[in-house]
Structure 1
Amino acid sequence: MRFGLIMSEVGNGLRRNISMVVSVILVTFISLTFVGAAILLQFQIGQMKGYWNDRAQVSVYMCTDSSTAGQCNLVEATKSQKAEVEAQLKSPALAGLIKSVTFENHDQVYKNYKTYFKDTTGADFITPAFLSETFSINLKDPSKADVIRESVASLAGVEQVVDQRKYLDPIFAALNAASLTAVSIAVLMLVAAVLLIATTIRLSAFSRRRELGIMRLVGASNRFIQTPFILEGVIAALIGSVLASLAVVSIVRFFVQGYLGTQSLDTPFIGLSEAYIVVPILLVVGAVLAAASASFAISRYLKV
């Protein structure tokens, strides 16, 4: 009987404040969708970092007869100089850090250049001799790239040593900025949702002030009085959380896997397993915030 009475009060409260309840649902839905998107973006960034860091190489560019950088002076790197670089890479100090080393001569570098830059203006004027012969090094631990650079950069015939991870840093920085933006918007929306839930509960309590007065006179405890109001906020927020969860799953299913997954992009994408991790987080966050804000609001009202 007690449970039935509480749920009856909850139903009456939701019906009386239907417009405010819809507002709570929408604000919760939007804010938690941003929260879910931010979490998914962090999953995606982590997956991309792991994938590309494992594939990022350290490139040792040898001198050409047109380069002046590094140890170059308009003189092509000699066979002995290239052999010295190779020997250094195979030395005990570096061999343990290196997974594999590939050497590309002028013709091989030119072939790759034509493949990737065939539509670039002026590509036809580039000759094989203009492009540096290259040692491409895959490391066991990409963070040790500085050790390779310091050991090889000063050798004769070396133009420059480039850690390809530096090209990835701006991309990851942009993705992190987007993630922080989503989190910031989500926090603002969550604050708005908390305030809206608190306002809804106070209005609901005000509209039932006569009933609350009677309940107090007959000896109802504050917990018994507060429970229907807290449940109203939790139910509204949970509906918004469920909608946000469906939106997150739909984003992954139809946009990430359905659209991006068909674009032949050489990068891994998150899947539904990551989305299913986010779903319970959204449900818990929605319920806890609603319960806390509703409890605070009705407690303040009953003390007035």
Structure 2
Amino acid sequence: MSPRRELEPEFASYYGRPILKEPTWEARDIAGYLFAGGLAGASSAIAAAAQLTGRPALARVSRIGAVGGLGFSVVALVHDLGRPARFVNMLRVAKPTSPMSVGSWLLAGYGPLAGAALLSDLTGIARPAGYAAGVGAGVLGAGVATYTSALFADTAVPAWHEGRHELPFLFAGSAVCAASGFALIGSPTAQVAPLRTLAVGGAALELSMSARMPRSAGLAGETFGLGRAGALMRSARVATAVGALGAGVLGGRSRAVAAASGLALLAGSALTRFGIFEAGRLSTQDPKYVVVPQRERLAQQDREAATVG
């Protein structure tokens, strides 16, 4: 007689309806917003550092990347919201416990500073004020590049919430890769030495968190390897690794290699954001990603209560 097989449990929801509502955001809007915001914020930080260390060409290229990324991210956000007035309405209150509120105020303060720094650089007008605006944009840029990780982790979407410990570091590494990649494309070879180191460091952080998050996210972590999300995440890792290798080994010798490495880093960063977005959407479609973690938490609470008793 053959041994009885353990049957896989099936999880169903009321009348077959999903337990969680799938995010209604468009991938091109929100994932694009994540990518462009990371590019903008990290570019301002690089521009401020370049400004303070006497690398004017690098500072200018990074400021262009910052304003370009900011413009794209605002357009994507407003397109998702439906009309600009909805973004303005977010500034009617300041709520420190809300990532969306904090992010809105960050963008409202960061945008004018980034724009003033670039305008002063291009025109030569009000250099001291432009210098101060560049430093301010660099400080706020760090928050702009990473606040979206808190925004995603604070949702009920299983893949995003369960990966909340790694998501901020993953977004930070991805933003650094995007900004250093953009700067590698447009900066003279003589000024890219710090960028090469930064690109390798950002890639190492992004790749390590990308590998760790599916394991730490528990059952929902498997969505990072499934379907479209899995294809995007695998492509992101390849592009990021190739870009970091090119930047670190040959980026200081060849202008063409530096530019190609920058393009690969940009592509890797964008693919990572789209992959994370797709994994979150996928994790809302199967009830098991909600039910199993809840049962595990309840069982753990029962064990702890029994131990105390």
* TM norm structure 1: 0.28
* TM norm structure 2: 0.28
More strand by share: 1
Query: Higher relative contact order by CA 8 Å / sep ≥ 6: 1 or 2?
Result: 1
